[in-house]
Amino acid sequence: MLVLSRKIGESIQIAGGIRVTVTDVRGGRVRLSIEAPLDVRVLRKEIADSVPQPTNPETPPDTYH
Q: What is the DSSP string of 22-60?
A: EEEEETTEEEEEEE--TTS----HHHHHHSPPPSSTTSP
Q: Kindly tell me if the per-residue pLDDT of 64 is higher than 70.
A: no
Q: How many residues does the chain have?
A: 65
Q: Kindly tell me if the per-residue pLDDT of 56 is higher than 90.
A: no
The mean pLDDT value of the chain amounts to 86
- What are the pLDDT digits (tens) for 27-51? 999 999 999 999 998 999 899 888 8
Taking the C-alpha atoms of residue 49 and residue 19, their distance in angstroms, rounded to an integer, is 22
* pTM for the predicted model, two decimal places: 0.71
Give the per-residue pLDDT at 22: 97
